[in-house]
Amino acid sequence: MADVNAAAAPASIKSYLDALKRCLKGQPPALIQDALADAEEYLRAEQAQTPEESEAQVLARIVETYGTPQEVAEEYIAMDDAIKSPFPARADEDDAVDKGPGLFGVLVDPRAYGALIYMLLSLATGIFYFTWAVTGMSLTLGLAILIIGIPFALLFIGSIRVISWVEGRVVEALLGVRMPRRLPTQETGGTVWQRIKRMLADGRTWSSLIYMILQLPLGIIYFTVAVVLGVTSGSVIAGGFYELATGKNVVRLDNYPELDALLSTPHGLVLVIIAGLIGILFTLHLARAIGFIHGKIAEALLVRA
């Protein structure tokens, strides 16, 4: 962590935030975004209460109570470490897939089940995000020539930020990726046109919009993979146990009579059940890998520090 000299207090809010960002180097991008958003909101609120003071005077006064960038960074890191997570800690996020829980450990790995739930939900969220994004963009462009187009554009861009924050909370809850825990700050003041210009110039607006559009094809893939593999593996296991218990031939391969006869024996049905269990293991490992990859996509498009 970079050292910041407390004696040389930052002379402006921007320099304070830059120093804080340097102190947080190496931390999750979402943690950095939250820390910068909190600090900026607090500093600007203090400045607004004493407009007669310069930024340097405001900073010199409140650093005594709020803390230097180094102290604030250490406090945020400590608070983040104190938050309990249902997911096991990773020694190295970049190697998380390679250093997985092992072949059978995935059966008790919350990341695998969280990712599987996310995959099942992704089709519904993908349809909603895509519809909202496309409809909103179409109406925004269509209403641009009318007076009502201005407030509508502001509302639509604001909704994109709220939706991306909600999606981030879902990603953190189910995939275990640290995402922003508060809405990003938006600079106030200026005319309506200046506010729109600032929003359009903010990369978070466009990256969040890309994420929402991308979520539909990804959601279709995730949902299809989860349902096909999960249902197939579960059906094979259930069919094998049912036939062992009742003697009714439910596991059938009509096009391969010799193989069907073999699988109808008790030993064959045990092999069927084992094959279904292998399918469950494969599904969970694949879900965990997809969750890891999607977490990286979400972090890249929904977080900006």
> What is the chain written as a DSSP string?
-----TTS--SSHHHHHHHHHHHTTTS-HHHHHHHHHHHHHHHHHHHHH-TTS-HHHHHHHHHHHH--HHHHHHHHHHHHHHS--SSPP-S-GGGTTTT-S-TTGGGG-HHHHHHHHHHHHHHHHHHHHHHHHHHHHHHHHHTTTSTTHHHHHHHHHHHHHHHHHHHHHHHHHHH-----SSPPP----S-HHHHHHHHHH-HHHHHHHHHHHHHHHHHHHHHHHHHHHHHHHHHHHHHHHHHHHH----S--TT-HHHHHHHTSHHHHHHHHHHHHHHHHHHHHHHHHHHHHHHHHHHHHH---
Q: What gap in Å lies between CA 73 and CA 265, rounded to an integer?
A: 65
Q: Which one, of 127, 144, 119, lies nearest residue 294 by Cα?
A: 119
Quick one: pLDDT at residue 253?
A: 62
CA angle, 274 as apex, 270 and 278 as ends, to 5°?
170
| Residue 258: per-residue pLDDT | 58
Measure the CA–CA gap between 110 and 260, rounded to whole angstroms. Answer: 37
Q: Tell me, what's the pLDDT at 91?
A: 42
Which residues, other chains included, contact 210 with Cβ-Cβ below 8 Å and sequence gap of 6+?
301
SS3 sequence of 199-223:
HHHCHHHHHHHHHHHHHHHHHHHHH
List phi, psi (to 5°) of 72. Answer: -65, -40
Burial of 164 (0-12, 13-18, 19+ CB in 10 A): buried
**Predicted TM-score of the model (pTM):** 0.80
> Six-digit token pair at 211?
């994420």
pLDDT, position 3: 45
Average pLDDT across each block of 10 residues of the chain; the chain has 305 residues. List them in order: 50 86 89 87 82 79 82 87 67 48 83 95 96 93 82 87 93 92 65 68 85 96 95 86 72 58 70 88 95 95 82
The angle subtended at Cα 204 by Cα 198 and Cα 207, nearest 5°, is: 130
Q: How far, in Å, CA of 157 to CA of 136, rounded?
A: 9
Q: What are the φ and ψ backbone dihedral angles of 182, each rounded to 5 degrees?
A: -150, 155
User: So what's the pLDDT on residue 185?
Assistant: 62
